[in-house]
Amino acid sequence: MEENKDLLAQVDTTKLPAHVAIIMDGNGRWAQMRGEHRVFGHQNGVDSVRETAEAAAELGIRYLTLYAFSTENWNRPKEEVNALMHLLVITINNEIKTLNENNIRLRAMGNLHCLDKKVKEELNEALDKTSQNTRMDLILALSYSGRWEIVEAAKSIAALVKDGKLKEEKINEKLFASYLNLPEIPDPELLIRTSGEYRISNFLMWQTAYTELYFTPKLWPDFRKNDLYEAIVDYQQRERRFGKTSEQIIQFKG
Ligand code: FPP
């Protein structure tokens, strides 16, 4: 598509975010607009996952984190939860070969113990089989919530203090962050949320402290490469100040 090329040409590949995170929202509405069951939306959402991961890897983005299943999603009707779990198993299984061909490492964060046995098995196999890949990390947040992750970190730290293995005065932001899931991965510079909702919904609560937020009305199953390029171009036009003044940033750059 010509339009595709125009947007792609606008992306400055020397100033890419290293880490992009996405809240994939709107699958249910997309399906309902077509008179279909919500699960149909999730099934079509998989095509968007594939396209977005491909586009991110092609651009040179190092980490892509997708909010695939939140802690709160367990409260959905049982048949939808089951269908989502089934879809995860099938998708992960189908994609291992492509992930390896494209040198993409699959990773996962969240309360993975809660996942169904079959999902855990498929997931562990895919994590293992792609563990040597180095081009991009595709991180699935599964049974994940930001507050859960922060509470878990607090519990681990509290246990160390209680056992006399850590001194309270040693606790600072750096140490705390090291007890979060996948601590070696840098915070996302850009968070995208689809479907016109303006919320973080308990995603990466700690890691998004300084993240640029980008909201699009597109429903997730309609999200394509072009939409990722558009979000990145928008991000690249912003000035990231991290609490400093505009003048300080310009001085620093100059
Ligand atoms: C939100 O839409 C989407 C989800 C809760 C699940 C996302 C899952 C997929 C895209 C499929 C599998 C993913 C992978 C990584 C293999 P919603 O149901 O909240 O939509 P609504 O807001 O319109 O109801």
Q: What is the pLDDT of residues 19-57, one digit of tens each?
A: 999 999 999 999 999 999 999 999 999 999 999 999 999
Q: Which of 6, 12, 25, 93 is catalytic?
A: 25
Let me know: does 136 contact 56? Beta carbons within 8 Å.
yes
**Confidence at residue 254, expressed as pLDDT on a 0 to 100 scale:** 46
The domain ranges of the chain are 17-146+187-238
Question: Separation of 161 CA from ligand 1 center, angstroms?
Answer: 39
**Confidence at residue 180, expressed as pLDDT on a 0 to 100 scale:** 98
Residues of the chain with pLDDT > 70, as a percent, come to 96
Which of 3-12, 43-52, 60-69, 123-132 has the lowest average pLDDT?
Answer: 3-12
> In Å, what is the CA distance from 178 to each residue of 7, 8, 191, 207?
37, 36, 21, 12
> CA 18, CA 66: separation in Å to the nearest integer?
14
* Residue 154 pLDDT > 90: yes
187 is catalytic: no
Q: Could you say which DSSP state residue 210 is in? A: T
Q: Which of 73, 93, 100, 133 is catalytic?
A: 73
Ligand 1 atom with minimal separation from the 91 CA: 16
Ligand 1 atom with minimal separation from the 87 CA: 12
Average pLDDT of the segment spanning 59-77: 96
The tokens for 13 are 């590949």
> CA 74, CA 121: separation in Å to the nearest integer?
19
Beta carbons within 8 Å of 196's beta carbon, 6+ residues apart: 26, 215, 216, 217
**Confidence at residue 220, expressed as pLDDT on a 0 to 100 scale:** 98
**Confidence at residue 1, expressed as pLDDT on a 0 to 100 scale:** 47
* Residue 228 pLDDT > 60: yes
At residue 153 the predicted structure's pLDDT band, cuts being 50, 70 and 90, is very high
Cα R_g (the chain), whole angstroms: 19
Ligand 1 atom with minimal separation from the 31 CA: 23
Best of 22, 25, 50 for a ligand 1 pocket test (most atoms within 8 Å of beta carbon): 25
At residue 5 the predicted structure's pLDDT band, cuts being 50, 70 and 90, is confident
**Confidence at residue 3, expressed as pLDDT on a 0 to 100 scale:** 53
| Pocket (CB within 6 angstroms of ligand 1) | 24-29, 38, 42, 45-46, 49, 66, 68, 73, 87-88, 91, 140, 195, 220
pLDDT averaged over the chain?
94
> CA 237, CA 106: separation in Å to the nearest integer?
30
Domain 17-146+187-238 has CATH 3.40.1180.10: yes
25 is catalytic: yes
Q: Write the pLDDT tens digit of every residue in 83-138.
A: 999 999 899 999 999 999 999 999 999 999 999 899 999 999 999 999 999 999 99
**Confidence at residue 10, expressed as pLDDT on a 0 to 100 scale:** 96
Sheet with 136-144, strands from edge to edge, namely 104-109, 136-144, 63-70, 19-23, 190-193, 212-215
Question: Separation of 113 CA from ligand 1 center, angstroms?
Answer: 20
Which of 118-122, 179-183, 213-217 has the lowest average pLDDT?
Answer: 118-122
Where residue 204 falls (left for φ over 0; alpha for ψ -120 to 50; beta otherwise) is left
Question: Separation of 24 CA from ligand 1 center, angstroms?
Answer: 6
The tokens for 94 are 């189908």
Average pLDDT of the segment spanning 1-13: 80
Question: Separation of 227 CA from ligand 1 center, angstroms?
Answer: 17
> In Å, what is the CA distance from 227 to each residue of 11, 45, 79, 213, 251?
12, 14, 31, 14, 33
